[in-house]
A and B are shown apart, each in its own frame.
Chain A
């Protein structure tokens, strides 16, 4: 067991499990910063997992497939924005509608495209490649973790940096945060809150779609029915626990990824699997506890106690 925990394979498993959650957590953070909870992440990921297979098979190329999937994810984000901002639908209800539509819609679409119902085995998609970094892969132990990951995993970490700079160092990022803090105040200085929230939700859809693409084109190499399996919701929690910041979301996603990988690894032991399957949820609970305790401490400090 200990030997397994110290193997590079275990760290690879952590990064693998973290990647989809991280993309979706970033998606959640940008939406939340603009003042909207994007609960449709689950559905967007599921749709994108299928789109990724279809588009990469159609174009025969990974970059084009990813690009088209990101466009499609952006369109779903746009749809959500249209429902919420123009039609004034409740954001949670609209998101649930998208999630439910994804469950049935992906099967319908898959049936139409390939004639399959459960998995996209007859579509030959192009998965994201694994990247071997020269020199770094020569380092003992660390090289096997730092190098040889899936391209999407590297992209997800790059996305953390980009999103951090975007939200905190660019004028548009400032506007997104301003709208999220106080819509009326932002509008009083001439910012169009609606436009900003549209942008944030589209961006959110694009990020979530990258997570979805990874599920069927990297993690697995095919789409299987309902394969998002709650990862969108876990990401929502990860983002919230990380204070809706990209870096915070990254750290919590990593924690969740590690908990999942640990639980999978623990299945090799004699510990009852019912207990093991609790590990990821227990981690969430403990994490939330620590987070809220820190929040309380911070408020007490600010209040001068």
Chain B
């Protein structure tokens, strides 16, 4: 009897614990808004783990940064990009002027418990001019650290930090990305593709392009708004067929919705639905049509479907950090503020590699480059679904 009680209590305790832990995870879509739901989708730790990181400590004089990752390098997405940007800066300025250390805290539920202590340890050491971290999961630990160490500077990327709710800390610089601008280019590319009979499998008679969203929230709508505007600027008659999965995980449902879109005459789609978006890419494969990737270079990540993915919309975390630290070295970084970076600041981009050149005809690529320049110069203003 006693044994039973103990067991029951243990079970309850472990479940309560795991529920709390999972609860944390499940807030991903709503909180993060989820442009980046596919971020974990793309992590792969096959390479890159050993090449960077613990650089020898600088000689005391130079600017030192710590990059705290609530994950690991090798994700082929945000974290690798962040590391690449900082490495580039160090190579340019020399390790005496700028140096950084990467701390890979791990991204699983089990690792969550050590994120905040690690962050506080780094603050406590006082060795670093700035501590860099990102994603919604670090927002709360950061709020605590920023309050406890008002003299420590922080850079926080890819999630809006709640300045007002945390007493307006003046030691955080917050970076967001203009997903509407990069989606504008994707929409324009999709519109040009769907009427181009030279591309294999395309039916130029139907002027339809598809969009598969995860949940109907502000960030995803920001993607959608840019996408629609880009498509309509190319050809006002283009019809954008929109599908919503309702979550970011149900890939089978994503596939069925996307299959329906392709069967109704859509030639090109755009997935902004996290893992559920992989369903659209499979549907494109089954239909012999096309889908644009998001958040990471999905053509490279999904070799089986690469010939269905002309390019992917990316946020360039590395560029944004490179820029931020350069500004900070000049003493011009706006701590206490939020900045939203677009093409002009190199905060977003589409993948333009050999694969892209192979898949898209030159006239489309040239038109896209021109549009990108017009967005940078302000000639094209992309509407947003987010109040900034």
Contact = CB atoms under 8 A, between A and B. Distances in A.
Contacts of B179: none
A283 interface: no
Nearest to B107: A117
A225 B264 contact: no
B327 interface: no
Interface stretch (A30-38, A61-69, A138-146, A262-270): A262-270
Nearest to B255: A220
B275 A119 contact: yes
A264 B247 contact: no
Nearest to A12: B259
A274 B216 CA distance: 9
Nearest to B42: A118
B256 interface: yes
A277 B263 CA distance: 20
B46 interface: yes
Contact of B40 (A96, A222, A225): A225
Given A97-B11, A100-B18, A264-B257, A277 B244 contact: yes
A273 B22 contact: no
B236 to A, nearest CB: 18
A96 B252 contact: no
A225 B249 contact: yes
A122 interface: yes
A181 interface: no
Given A100-B15, A100-B19, A261-B256, A220 B251 contact: yes
Interface residues of A, number: 51
B205 to A, nearest CB: 16
Interface stretch (A85-93, A168-176, A194-202): A85-93
A115 interface: yes
Interface in A73-115: 87-90, 93-94, 96-97, 100-101, 103-104, 107-108, 111, 114-115
B264 A224 contact: no
B278 A260 contact: no
A292 to B, nearest CB: 27
Contacts of A100: 15, 18-19, 22
A17 interface: yes
A267 B15 contact: no
A121 interface: yes
Contacts of B38: 118
B43 A118 contact: yes
A229 B253 contact: yes
B264 A117 contact: no
A140 B15 CA distance: 54
Q: Which are the 10 A-B pairs with shortest beta-carbon distances?
A: A118-B41, A229-B250, A226-B249, A224-B251, A117-B43, A224-B275, A118-B40, A273-B244, A115-B45, A267-B243
Given A220-B282, A224-B251, A268-B264, 10 more contacts: A4-B260, A9-B259, A93-B12, A115-B74, A117-B107, A118-B41, A220-B251, A224-B41, A264-B243, A264-B256
Interface of B: 4, 7-8, 11-12, 14-15, 18-19, 21-22, 25, 38-46, 74-75, 107-109, 216, 241-244, 246-247, 249-253, 255-257, 259-261, 263-264, 275-276, 278-279, 282, 301-304
16 contacts: A9-B259, A13-B259, A104-B22, A104-B108, A107-B108, A116-B44, A121-B302, A215-B252, A219-B255, A227-B275, A229-B250, A229-B252, A230-B250, A260-B256, A265-B260, A267-B257
